Structure 1
Amino acid sequence: MEKEVMSSLKMAGNILCSASSFIRKCIFGVLRVGPIPNHIAFIMDGNRRYAKKQKLSHDGAAGGGGRYDAGFWALMVMLLYCQELGVKYITAYAFSIDNFKRKPEEVESLMASMLEKFHLLDILVKRLAVRVHFAGNLELLSNELRASAMELTEATAAYSKSVLTICIAYTSRDEILHAVRESCEQKRIDLEFDNDDDNEIKLMKVEKNMYMAVAPDPDIIIRTGGENRLSNFLLWQSSRSHLHSMWVLWPEIGVWNLVFAILNFQRNKTYHLEMKKKEKEL
């Protein structure tokens, strides 16, 4: 009797899953009639509030990784949805330089969780043919975590179906400072060896040295958790981006949240095109 009940529940689950998949494909088909963003960036806010809501530990105590697990799988789900829709570039704000100011045990727990997730991410992205890129001051990470990030970057370098950029040990101010320093150093070397007689540093050179040079400027920046600020994220790249804030906490984000964000973007697409045209004319 128990086996029959379990079998019936499994069958019902499969039917519901198939129905959900069919509905999603229909909705995505309607969305694709309009313009689909090429690049969506996520500010993954609300993990700590989710932990409090679910009574998960905030530090390195047992069970403390639950909120990180939920946040990781939320990102994987968004990656799958974006790939299904045809969004090529996905960027996630995973860890700010400012987050190093949190309690040491919390930072340590998060770093340990990241290392674990990198190994799992390696398996998943290879199946999806996703190239992984890390943006940020990786020198601030532990040797083990930095090496794991570099290995994952190299292992997926040949993939081109989608590009997932994970911003870790990142702030936009640090990115701009890094780009300016690198540009000045390159200009100094060129002048020293007579490779260039122009003292001016071109804007193109600065942008080439940005951590985010691997991806175009985001079409949409989605922030969960109900806040309406960028929090030092992609300040250089977001002048023409559509900003979309939602109250849902990051681990709880779902397909409908993504759908509404893209519909909102499509509704305002004309305005963004006009802004791009005016900028080119300047």
Structure 2
Amino acid sequence: MINGIDMKRIPQHIAIIMDGNGRWAVEKGKERSFGHQAGVETVRRITSECVRLGVKYLTLYTFSTENWNRPATEVQALMGLVLSSLEDEIFMKNNVRFQVIGDLKRLPQEVQDKLQETMAHTAKNDAMTMVVALSYSSRWEITEACRQIALEVAGKVKNGEQVDIENLITEDVLSKHMNTSFMPDPDLLIRTGGELRISNYLLWQIAYSELYFCDTYWPDFSEEDLQRAILSFQKRQRRFGKTEQQVEENK
């Protein structure tokens, strides 16, 4: 354990952009799929460490809607990796509940079936919830939320019901229609691999998240790297628009 971590101030929700798998493999003279396989091992280690530290939600950016544009062979390998990784007993061993967000209709049927099976199998686990963002992008999610609201309103108008125009679209209404409505917003967003961007990930939800970027490729991201990110988080003052004095007075 890295010195200085306050176990009473562990972020309850950590979101991670697991970047660098392909570059890690290429630098080793391997196929990109080799890097994705190594990345699964890192997921296992980081999941166990998050449970040990007391994190309650871990959200992992696994496959974006933009990733569908990658070579077909890589996409196929990634889908196969999703299937094989869901066989892992890490969920039951660590008492972890599994959830998934994203445009799941685009996934192969066997992947959809396995996702549903894993969610049902782990539904009663309560040490931590691991959320996999699969075929996901934030712009898709926000657009889909607006579409669902519009469909609900259209249904009410068709049935002759009264529509409250003033409160038709509020932050609370939008949040309730997001894929992530079942969990709190991330306290900490980590991106590995050296890139300094968000890449269409949880844009609505990270409005007040602390951001942490590191150069380490995801396959090399260790438990100590996670602890460093948490320590960085704990050294920051989260004001949420308030002054430093107000924050101190409310402690």
More helix by share: 1
Larger radius of gyration: 1
Determine helix, strand or coil for the equivalent of 1:50. helix
Q: Structure 1, residues 54-112: CA drift from partner, whole Å, max 9, x if none?
A: 22213xxxxx4x32221011011111111111110100000011011111111111111
The 8 Å contact of residues 51 and 128 in structure 2, kept in 1 or not, is answered as yes
Determine helix, strand or coil for the equivalent of 1:105. helix
Given the alignment of the two structures, is residue 242 of structure 1 paired with residue 216 of structure 2, yes or no? no
**TM-score of the two chains, using structure 1 as the length reference:** 0.80
Corresponding residue to 1:168 among 100, 123, 134: 134
* Residues in 1 aligned to 2:122 and 2:8: alpha-carbon distance in whole angstroms: 31
Corresponding residue to 2:25 among 47, 51, 68: 51
Tell me by how many angstroms 1:211 deviates. Answer: 1.2
Q: What residue in structure 2 maps to residue 158 of structure 1?
A: 124
* Residues in 1 aligned to 2:241 and 2:163: alpha-carbon distance in whole angstroms: 37
Corresponding residue to 1:91 among 34, 59, 80: 59
* Residues in 1 aligned to 2:133 and 2:123: alpha-carbon distance in whole angstroms: 17
Tell me by how many angstroms 1:34 deviates. Answer: 5.2
Determine helix, strand or coil for the equivalent of 2:58. strand
Q: What residue in structure 2 maps to residue 31 of structure 1?
A: 5
Q: Structure 1, residues 130-153: CA drift from partner, whole Å, max 9, x if none?
A: 111111000110111111111111
Provide closer, same or farther for how the CA distance between residues 202 and 37 of structure 1 changes in structure 2, counting only shifts above 3 A. Answer: same
Q: What residue in structure 1 maps to residue 114 of structure 2?
A: 148
The 8 Å contact of residues 99 and 132 in structure 2, kept in 1 or not, is answered as yes
Q: What residue in structure 1 maps to residue 74 of structure 2?
A: 106
* Residues in 1 aligned to 2:129 and 2:216: alpha-carbon distance in whole angstroms: 25
The 8 Å contact of residues 61 and 134 in structure 2, kept in 1 or not, is answered as yes
Q: What residue in structure 1 maps to residue 93 of structure 2?
A: 127
Q: What residue in structure 1 maps to residue 154 of structure 2?
A: 188
The 8 Å contact of residues 136 and 175 in structure 1, kept in 2 or not, is answered as yes
* Residues in 2 aligned to 1:250 and 1:189: alpha-carbon distance in whole angstroms: 46
The 8 Å contact of residues 187 and 201 in structure 1, kept in 2 or not, is answered as no
The alignment's C-alpha RMSD in Å is 2.0
Letter in 2 for 1:169: S
Q: Structure 1, residues 207-251: CA drift from partner, whole Å, max 9, x if none?
A: 111111122111110000011100000111111011100000000
Q: Between the two proteins, what is the percent identity of the paired residues?
A: 33
Tell me by how many angstroms 1:33 deviates. Answer: 4.7
Q: What residue in structure 2 maps to residue 215 of structure 1?
A: 183
Q: Structure 1, residues 20-39: CA drift from partner, whole Å, max 9, x if none?
A: xxxx3xx48x5235521110
Total equivalences in the alignment? 243
Q: What residue in structure 2 maps to residue 10 of structure 1?
A: none
The 8 Å contact of residues 219 and 240 in structure 1, kept in 2 or not, is answered as yes
The structure showing larger relative contact order (alpha-carbon pairs under 8 Å, at least 6 residues apart) is 2
The 8 Å contact of residues 7 and 53 in structure 2, kept in 1 or not, is answered as no
* Residues in 1 aligned to 2:9 and 2:195: alpha-carbon distance in whole angstroms: 26
* Residues in 1 aligned to 2:90 and 2:12: alpha-carbon distance in whole angstroms: 22
Q: What residue in structure 1 maps to residue 104 of structure 2?
A: 138
Letter in 1 for 2:78: L
Corresponding residue to 1:264 among 232, 245, 249: 232
